[in-house]
């Protein structure tokens, strides 16, 4: 165990201080005297009780430094990704942080994907995605932090691979690392919601250690912030659209060449050249999808953004054209995707900076 001499917030890992309310880890001296060693900092308190986030003055360099240490340790690294945003939740250059340690990949939030998706196929596809990203996990588990049985399996697999060593939970922000850690604590110790979780990116601020046995610890870490994630391009009240709580109900639209779909006011899909075909959309159920003529689409957006077309992103939408050869998904990282079954020329508009890509259809 490390840094035991420093008292840390059990919610976010920030080092506790009672001097400056504006700085991270603040706890009034009075509370500190009363609560002893298990305290939540003021930021966690607000997040947990009022769902309000105070911005943290940390940069990705701070977070990466925490991860950099792992390569020198003898540990098991559990990389959590969001199955709804696989390409957007892979850490670039992860193998550098893992070093010689064993890596175990956990694809979380399975509950969002339609139940009809085959898990074996999903795991197979994830294997290829991992390889393309330069990592070779010992194993891959598709799961949901909110399903008890999955958490049981996760704990068993961790025991199999950790060989009596510490376990680091790493990943991009918002993939559900802390939710997973909470589920494991609940399973082992019967305590609920110990670590702070939220739909705001950047909830966990520093390492949080939870004892696994007399010698080893499980360590939750702050998420790496990738600017291409949709969450960074939304207003806080709209974050629910990138963190669906329920299984996504796909919607199919029969579209002709020269038609456009608006995904709320957050993205746009143009079918430019194609025969008539049925396109299936996979987005949060509460995000309204509007169909218009491509030739009127610019004007429609200008007139209705923020009204019929809501919510809107913080920045402007930029266009990217794709040529679809066979059944493919056009993915707007973190927001969802449109499945195009047949040959077509299409354009996808997404907030500037958000990754848009084409992949072989997942479903
Ligand atoms: N539907 C669904 N949502 C989940 C699941 N796990 C986590 N979430 C949600 O994802 C959001 C982020 O969860 P956190 O646990 O705070 O994510 P994190 O990876 O610890 O984020 P950082 O601390 O910012 O790096 C929250 O809104 C969670 O409720 C899951 O299995 N299914
Ligand atoms: Mg966290």
Segment 286-329, tens digit of pLDDT: 999 999 999 999 999 999 999 999 999 998 999 999 999 999 99
pLDDT value, residue 242: 87
In a domain, 114, yes or no: yes
198 and 276 in a single domain? The answer is no
221 and 284 in a single domain? The answer is no
Q: If we measure between CA atoms, which residue out of 182, 185, 186, 181 comes closest to residue 170?
A: 181
Query: How far is CA 110 from each of CA 106, 124, 126, rounded to the nearest angstrom?
Result: 10, 15, 13
pLDDT value, residue 358: 96
Paired residues of 211 in beta bridges: 217
49 and 92 in a single domain? The answer is no
How many Å lie between the centroid of ligand 1 and the Cα of residue 145? 8
Range of the domain at 25: 1-57
How many Å lie between the centroid of ligand 2 and the Cα of residue 161? 23
Ligand with the closest atom to the CA of 146? 1
How many Å lie between the centroid of ligand 1 and the Cα of residue 325? 35
Last residue of a domain, one of 57, 73, 100: 57
How many Å lie between the centroid of ligand 1 and the Cα of residue 286? 19
pLDDT value, residue 5: 66
The sign one gets for the Cα dihedral 159, 162, 164, 170 is negative
pLDDT value, residue 2: 45
Cis omega (within 30 of 0) for bond into 63: no
Q: CB under 8 Å, gap of 24 or more: what pairs does 293-296 form?
A: 293/258, 293/259, 293/260, 294/258, 294/259, 294/260, 294/270, 295/258
Edge-to-edge strand ranges of the sheet holding 259-263 = 289-293, 259-263, 267-273, 344-351, 317-324
Q: For ligand 1, atom 11, name the residue with the nearest CA.
A: 199
Q: Is the CB of 246 under 6 A from ligand 1?
A: no
The structure tokens listed for 47 are: 């997040």
Query: How do beta strands 277-283 and 208-211 pair?
Result: unpaired
Alpha helices (H) in 18-132, listed in sequence order: 29-35, 42-50, 60-68, 94-98, 119-132
Residue 179 CA to its chain's centroid (Å): 11
pLDDT value, residue 54: 77
Q: How crowded is the C-beta side of 201, counted as CA atoms within 13 Å? A: 26
Q: Is the CB of 173 under 6 A from ligand 1?
A: yes
260 and 112 in a single domain? The answer is no
Q: Is the CB of 204 under 6 A from ligand 1?
A: yes
Mutate which of 141, 148, 179 to test ligand 1's pocket (most atoms within 8 Å of Cβ)?
A: 179
32 and 129 in a single domain? The answer is no
pTM of this structure: 0.94
Atom of ligand 1 nearest to the CA of 80: 19
Q: Is the CB of 229 under 6 A from ligand 1?
A: no
133 and 19 in a single domain? The answer is no
The structure tokens listed for 82 are: 């969001």
Residue spans of beta strands (DSSP E) within 286-335: 289-293, 317-324, 328-332
In a domain, 231, yes or no: no
122 and 138 in a single domain? The answer is yes
Ligand with the closest atom to the CA of 53? 1
Query: How do beta strands 267-273 and 344-351 pair?
Result: antiparallel
How many Å lie between the centroid of ligand 2 and the Cα of residue 346? 37
Last residue of a domain, one of 193, 226, 259: 226
pLDDT, tens digit only, all 363 positions of the chain: 444 468 999 999 999 999 999 999 999 999 988 877 789 999 999 999 998 887 777 777 877 888 888 988 999 999 999 999 998 999 988 998 899 999 999 999 999 999 988 999 999 999 999 999 999 999 999 999 989 899 999 999 999 999 999 999 999 999 999 999 999 999 988 999 999 999 998 999 999 999 998 899 999 999 998 888 899 899 988 998 888 999 999 999 999 999 999 999 999 999 999 999 999 999 999 999 999 999 999 999 999 999 999 999 998 999 999 999 999 999 999 999 999 999 999 999 999 999 999 999 988
């Amino acid at each position: 165990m490390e840094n035991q001499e420093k008292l840390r917030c059990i919610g976010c890992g920030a080092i506790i201080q009672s001097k400056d309310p504006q700085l991270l880890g603040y706890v009034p001296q009075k509370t500190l005297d009363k609560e002893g060693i298990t305290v939540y900092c003021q930021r966690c308190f607000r997040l947990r009780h009022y769902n309000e986030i105070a911005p943290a003055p940390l940069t990705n360099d701070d977070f990466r430094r925490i991860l950099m240490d792992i390569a020198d340790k003898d540990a098991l690294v559990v990389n959590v990704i969001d199955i709804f945003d696989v390409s957007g939740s892979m850490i670039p250059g992860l193998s550098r942080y893992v070093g010689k340690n064993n890596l175990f990949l956990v694809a979380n939030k399975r509950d969002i994907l339609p139940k009809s998706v085959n898990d074996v196929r999903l795991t197979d596809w994830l294997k290829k995605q991992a390889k393309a990203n330069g990592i070779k996990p010992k194993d891959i588990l598709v799961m949901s932090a909110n399903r008890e049985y999955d958490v049981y399996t996760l704990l068993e697999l961790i025991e199999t691979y950790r060989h009596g060593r510490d376990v680091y939970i790493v990943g991009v922000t918002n993939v559900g690392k802390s939710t997973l850690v909470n589920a494991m604590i609940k399973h082992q110790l019967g305590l609920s919601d110990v670590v702070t979780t939220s739909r705001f990116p950047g909830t966990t601020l520093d390492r949080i250690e939870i004892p696994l046995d007399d010698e080893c610890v499980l360590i939750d870490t702050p998420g790496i912030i990738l600017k291409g994630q949709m969450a960074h391009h939304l207003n806080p009240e709209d974050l629910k659209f990138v963190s669906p709580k329920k299984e996504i109900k796909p919607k199919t639209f029969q579209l002709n060449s020269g038609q456009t779909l608006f995904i709320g006011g957050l993205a746009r899909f143009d079918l430019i050249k194609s025969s008539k075909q049925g396109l299936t959309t996979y987005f949060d159920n509460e995000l309204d999808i509007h169909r218009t003529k491509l030739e009127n689409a610019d004007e429609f957006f200008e007139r209705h953004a923020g009204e019929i077309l809501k919510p809107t992103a913080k920045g402007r939408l930029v266009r990217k054209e794709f040529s679809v050869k066979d059944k493919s998904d056009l993915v707007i990282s973190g927001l969802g995707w449109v499945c195009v079954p047949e040959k077509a020329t299409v354009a996808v508009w997404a907030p500037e900076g958000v990754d848009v890509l084409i992949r072989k259809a997942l479903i």
